[in-house]
Amino acid sequence: MKLNFWSGVYGTIIGNTFSYYTIGLAGLFIGLGEIIGGGIFGVLGNYTNRWGRDPVVLLGMLTHFVSFLLIFYNLPDAAIHGYVDDAYGQLFHPSSLYIAMVCAFLLGFGDACY
Protein backbone atom coordinates (compact mmCIF):
# COMPACT_ATOMS: atom_id res chain seq x y z
CA MET A 1 0.00 0.00 0.00
CA LYS A 2 2.79 2.43 0.80
CA LEU A 3 4.51 1.59 -2.49
CA ASN A 4 1.30 2.43 -4.31
CA PHE A 5 1.13 5.73 -2.42
CA TRP A 6 4.63 7.02 -3.08
CA SER A 7 4.93 5.68 -6.61
CA GLY A 8 1.58 6.93 -7.90
CA VAL A 9 -0.46 9.07 -5.55
CA TYR A 10 2.28 11.21 -4.01
CA GLY A 11 3.58 12.41 -7.37
CA THR A 12 0.07 13.36 -8.44
CA ILE A 13 -0.51 15.32 -5.25
CA ILE A 14 2.84 17.11 -5.63
CA GLY A 15 2.08 17.97 -9.25
CA ASN A 16 -1.42 19.26 -8.51
CA THR A 17 -0.27 21.30 -5.52
CA PHE A 18 2.85 23.02 -6.87
CA SER A 19 3.47 22.37 -10.58
CA TYR A 20 3.97 19.42 -12.84
CA TYR A 21 7.72 20.06 -12.93
CA THR A 22 8.06 19.07 -9.29
CA ILE A 23 6.92 15.48 -9.88
CA GLY A 24 10.37 14.56 -11.20
CA LEU A 25 11.99 16.38 -8.30
CA ALA A 26 9.99 14.29 -5.84
CA GLY A 27 11.09 11.13 -7.64
CA LEU A 28 14.68 12.32 -7.43
CA PHE A 29 14.44 12.78 -3.67
CA ILE A 30 12.77 9.39 -3.21
CA GLY A 31 15.62 7.77 -5.12
CA LEU A 32 18.20 9.75 -3.16
CA GLY A 33 16.68 8.53 0.11
CA GLU A 34 16.81 4.93 -1.11
CA ILE A 35 20.43 5.25 -2.23
CA ILE A 36 21.59 6.88 1.00
CA GLY A 37 19.65 4.38 3.11
CA GLY A 38 21.04 1.43 1.17
CA GLY A 39 24.54 2.84 1.45
CA ILE A 40 24.27 3.36 5.19
CA PHE A 41 22.94 -0.11 5.84
CA GLY A 42 25.48 -1.62 3.46
CA VAL A 43 28.41 0.05 5.21
CA LEU A 44 27.03 -0.65 8.68
CA GLY A 45 26.17 -4.27 7.88
CA ASN A 46 28.22 -5.60 10.79
CA TYR A 47 26.16 -3.63 13.29
CA THR A 48 22.86 -4.74 11.82
CA ASN A 49 24.04 -8.36 11.95
CA ARG A 50 24.92 -7.96 15.61
CA TRP A 51 21.65 -6.31 16.68
CA GLY A 52 19.36 -8.05 14.21
CA ARG A 53 16.87 -6.61 11.77
CA ASP A 54 14.37 -5.30 14.28
CA PRO A 55 15.96 -1.86 14.93
CA VAL A 56 16.30 -1.21 11.21
CA VAL A 57 12.66 -2.11 10.53
CA LEU A 58 11.55 0.04 13.48
CA LEU A 59 13.58 2.94 12.09
CA GLY A 60 11.81 2.51 8.74
CA MET A 61 8.42 2.43 10.46
CA LEU A 62 9.22 5.59 12.44
CA THR A 63 10.50 7.31 9.31
CA HIS A 64 7.30 6.48 7.45
CA PHE A 65 5.12 7.64 10.35
CA VAL A 66 6.88 11.02 10.41
CA SER A 67 6.70 11.31 6.63
CA PHE A 68 2.99 10.47 6.40
CA LEU A 69 2.18 12.87 9.22
CA LEU A 70 4.08 15.70 7.52
CA ILE A 71 2.39 14.91 4.20
CA PHE A 72 -1.01 15.02 5.88
CA TYR A 73 -0.29 18.40 7.45
CA ASN A 74 1.47 19.92 4.45
CA LEU A 75 -0.54 19.02 1.36
CA PRO A 76 -4.21 19.85 0.70
CA ASP A 77 -6.85 17.13 0.61
CA ALA A 78 -8.30 18.19 -2.74
CA ALA A 79 -4.97 17.89 -4.57
CA ILE A 80 -5.62 14.28 -5.51
CA HIS A 81 -8.65 15.27 -7.58
CA GLY A 82 -7.07 18.08 -9.57
CA TYR A 83 -5.06 21.27 -9.51
CA VAL A 84 -5.74 23.42 -6.46
CA ASP A 85 -5.59 27.20 -6.60
CA ASP A 86 -5.09 27.83 -2.90
CA ALA A 87 -2.42 25.34 -1.83
CA TYR A 88 -3.17 25.31 1.88
CA GLY A 89 -2.50 22.18 3.85
CA GLN A 90 -3.87 21.23 7.23
CA LEU A 91 -1.13 22.94 9.26
CA PHE A 92 1.29 24.71 6.93
CA HIS A 93 -0.10 27.78 5.17
CA PRO A 94 0.76 27.80 2.28
CA SER A 95 2.03 24.33 1.52
CA SER A 96 5.82 24.13 1.49
CA LEU A 97 7.73 22.54 -1.36
CA TYR A 98 10.72 22.01 0.93
CA ILE A 99 8.68 19.96 3.39
CA ALA A 100 7.26 17.96 0.48
CA MET A 101 10.78 17.12 -0.72
CA VAL A 102 11.88 16.18 2.81
CA CYS A 103 8.88 13.86 2.95
CA ALA A 104 9.88 12.34 -0.39
CA PHE A 105 13.39 11.73 0.95
CA LEU A 106 11.96 10.16 4.11
CA LEU A 107 9.72 7.88 2.04
CA GLY A 108 12.73 6.64 0.12
CA PHE A 109 14.85 6.22 3.24
CA GLY A 110 12.08 4.31 5.00
CA ASP A 111 11.72 2.04 2.00
CA ALA A 112 15.45 1.31 2.17
CA CYS A 113 15.01 0.38 5.83
CA TYR A 114 12.38 -2.20 4.90
In this prediction the pTM is 0.87
What is the percent of the chain with per-residue pLDDT over 90, rounded to a whole number?
35
Q: What is the pLDDT of residues 74-104, one digit of tens each?
A: 888 777 777 776 666 666 678 888 999 999 9
pLDDT of residue 44: 76
What are the pLDDT tens digits along the chain (114 aa)? 667 787 788 888 888 888 888 889 999 999 999 999 988 888 877 777 777 778 888 999 999 999 999 998 888 877 777 777 666 666 667 888 899 999 999 999 999 988
pLDDT of 37 reads 92
- How far apart are the C-alpha atoms of 85 and 25, rounded to whole Å? 21
Distance CA 98, CA 15 (A): 14
